[in-house]
A and B are shown apart, each in its own frame.
Chain A
Amino acid sequence: MTSIMGSRIRQKQIAQLLKAGKRLDGRGLIEYRPIKIETGIIEKAEGSAQVCLGKTQVMVGVKIETGGPFSDRPNDGVLTVNSEFVPLASPEFEAGPPGEESIELARIVDRGLRESKAIELEKLCIVPEKKVFVIFFDVYVLNHDGNLVDASGLAALAALLNTKIFKYEIEDGEVVRKPGFTSLPIRNYPVAVTFASIDGKLVLDPWLDEEQVMNSRLTMTFDKDGKICAVQKGRQGTLTPQQIIEAANIAREKAEELRKQVVKS
């Protein structure tokens, strides 16, 4: 737990270094921490991945079930994203129902997948208006060292890429699992890129110390064509319109670099 004085001193230290274009951990202002991606690590899940972003560690498991469609989209599969801040991941996390940080994280990841139309949900219909596939993404934070958004987004994308759907037949209106799998129909690869604004300076991929002193956070998600598909500002700090556009231009390039790392893994 950082005390108020402690965090003020830290903020000053981090901000002063930033003025000189430096970061406490030696990175460049728009440099990511080392990224490690592993996929297919949970055999019982239809899709899974773990991403290490520096010391931040996030696992995403994809489970597929069948269920009813939403009434306004009777022939589309259903996408659900949930996130858990597991108490083992940080001294700040407590067991219990998801808090607003956790809900916000899940919804940012959800928005990237949904708005870029990453999954071809219209191909996931089993019985029109009755039965469709429901795809559950569970984001599991295992070690919190900052920038959970990008780590979770990458893990979700990596998990998506190795997700398989069980084969099935319909017997008496019931879905019966059959041996074998087909791959999930995918059409887009969204990647989230997050900045922290500290004393008016933008830095990419904030780690925990920077997050504790940042004034605001800005996430932009880009699809495979370099179009923006989701944006989220967080925290009580402010941004100027110029900063937002500057960030968008940097983020688009970084998203492209990150996407290559996921797609090759």
Chain B
Amino acid sequence: MKEQTKLVDDNGIRTDGRKLNELRPTKMEVGVLSNADGSAYIEQGKNKILAAVYGPREAHPRHLALPERAILQCRYHMAPFSVDERKSPAPSRREVELSKVIRESLEPAIFLDQFPRTSIDLFIEVLQADGGTRCAGVTVASLALADAGIPMKDLVVACAAGKAGGHLILDLNDIEDKEGEADVPVAYAPNLNAVTLLQMDGILIIEEFRQTIDLALEGCKDLYKLQKEALKAKYVAITEEVEE
């Protein structure tokens, strides 16, 4: 067996120097790909993720189209070079599941009924993964949707919390996810007070589970501010360009 790394030291500091309730340094940018109708990029710690939205456009295959609303199609995919050991580019079972839960976390925030018979296609490419990619994927995907001009009730933002080294911690990195006791990814639409994605693996008693969700929601609220700033930044830049 491998030697267990100490995930939290005696002063409550984590392996990457963070405090228990501290998010990783996070950078978001909107409008990064010219071909897509909407796009965004996020760096959260070592995670580097691109999201692109095409549509509303004709559904493909066509029989998927619904007469009363648009469908959202989502592909979460990891680049072969995004992890330590090369990942086969074929979609894994994990990627199929994550594509599904990410799609379901975003659907409640979109006015899908405004575009019947069409498809909104969302592509999330994880260029580098370091734990918490589904959450960062949700966060960056809602920015790409907003950038594509898709009418939305709220931006969905996601963040994981969990338990490692006996402490409840926010925004787990890869080693905390793999060697910690529990991981609870949560997606949240703050204005709707709605949890739109919730998963957990690991072991927690109910009281810890409750505190973990609260912690994740605090993280979501901080990331939500960054999301809004990133969205505004694109249009401030455009305004400045026009004025020049």
A joins B in a complex: yes
Docked-complex contact B213 and A241, CB < 8 angstroms: yes
Docked-complex contact B100 and A231, CB < 8 angstroms: no
In this complex, what residue of A is CB-closest to B214?
A241
Docked-complex contact B205 and A238, CB < 8 angstroms: no
Docked-complex contact A236 and B104, CB < 8 angstroms: yes
In this complex, what residue of A is CB-closest to B104?
A236
**Interface residue stretch chosen among A136-144, A158-166, A245-253:** A245-253
Contacts of B217 in A (CB 8 A): 241
Q: Considering the complex, which residues of chain A in the window 149-204 have a beta carbon less than 8 Å from any beta carbon of chain B?
A: none
Docked-complex contact B194 and A75, CB < 8 angstroms: no
Main secondary structure of the interface of A (DSSP, over half): mixed
> B28 in the interface, Cβ–Cβ < 8 Å?
no
Q: Considering the complex, which residues of chain B in the window 71-121 have a beta carbon less than 8 Å from any beta carbon of chain A?
A: 93-94, 96-97, 99-101, 103-104, 107-108
Report the separation of the CA atoms of residues A75 and B1 in the bound assembly, to the nearest whole angstrom: 8
Pull 12 A–B residue pairs with CB atoms less than 8 Å apart, ordered by A: A100-B96, A100-B100, A111-B201, A115-B202, A218-B198, A228-B200, A229-B201, A231-B198, A233-B104, A238-B194, A238-B195, A245-B206
Contact of A103 among B93, B108, B200 (CB under 8 A): B93
Q: Measuring CB to CB, which residues of chain B are less than 8 angstroms from any residue of chain A?
A: 1, 67-68, 93-94, 96-97, 99-101, 103-104, 107-108, 184, 189, 192-206, 209-210, 213-214, 217
> A67 in the interface, Cβ–Cβ < 8 Å?
no
Docked-complex contact B203 and A116, CB < 8 angstroms: yes
Given A236-B104, A241-B213, A249-B206 in contact, is the A115-B197 Cβ separation under 8 Å? no
Report the separation of the CA atoms of residues A235 and B184 in the bound assembly, to the nearest whole angstrom: 18
> A258 in the interface, Cβ–Cβ < 8 Å?
no
B161 to chain A, nearest CB (A): 12
Contacts of A249 in B (CB 8 A): 206
